[in-house]
Structures are given as structure tokens and as C-alpha cells.
Amino acid sequence: MTVETKYGADILKQTQAMAEMVKDMMPKVTTNKNGYEIRTKVLEMAQSNVWQDYHAKFGGWEQSVKRDPQTNEIVTSVTMPEVPGTDAVLEAAEKFYDFVNGKK
């Protein structure tokens, strides 16, 4: 009788028992979300996207506005970007949701 056969079965049983014990301690992960959770996540993504776009445009606007040092007037005629409201966020969310659903 070799060491492998003498202790192999016991080691296998202990390893399986430990694996079952650890499996019971691990949290259960569910990846399925209900419709409300999906819509909430899409709305969060849309809001983040709209505001990132606004901040990028605002940064570009700040860099492009120049003042004449003598008259203290704005030299360029660049308009400030519009602050996004609820409609812009909902429009972006609808685009994201249509993409997820495969609509064009």
C-alpha cells in the first residue's frame, strides 16, 4: 500500500468537506435585476453621460473666452453651453435603453 492510496481518499474527503463549508459561507450572488433596477441603472448612466458632456463643453468654453486687456470686454463670441435639465437626461436614457433593447 502506498502513501497515495492510504491517505489519498481521506485527503479528498477532507478537501471536499472544506469546499462545501466555504461554499456555504460565501454570499449568494444574483446577476438578474428587475425592470426597476435596470431602468435606474440606465438613468444613472444617462445622467452621468449628460453631465460629463456638459462639463467638457464648459471647460472648452472657459478656455475659449478671452478678454481684451484694455477694454475688459470679451473678444470672442462663443456661447456658454446650456446646463442640462431633466429632459436632456431622459432623452439620453431613452437612447441608452433603445440601444440595450436593440432598437434603431
pLDDT tens digits, one per residue of 29-68: 777 888 888 888 889 999 999 999 999 988 887 777 677 7
Which residue has cell 431622459? 90
Can you give the residue range of the structural domain that contains 55? 34-101
Residue 4 has pLDDT above 80, yes or no: no
Residue 19 lies in a domain: no
Q: What pLDDT score was predicted for residue 5? A: 66
The number of distinct structural domains making up the chain is 1
pTM confidence score: 0.54
Sign of the C-alpha dihedral computed for residues 32, 36, 40 and 46 taken in this order: positive
Asked if residue 1 is part of any domain, the answer here is: no
* 15 domain residue, yes or no: no
Question: What average pLDDT is seen over the chain?
Answer: 81
The verdict on residue 20 lying in a domain is no
Whole-number pLDDT of residue 1: 46
* Residue 23 lies inside a defined structural domain of this protein: no
Locate cell 435603453: which residue?
97
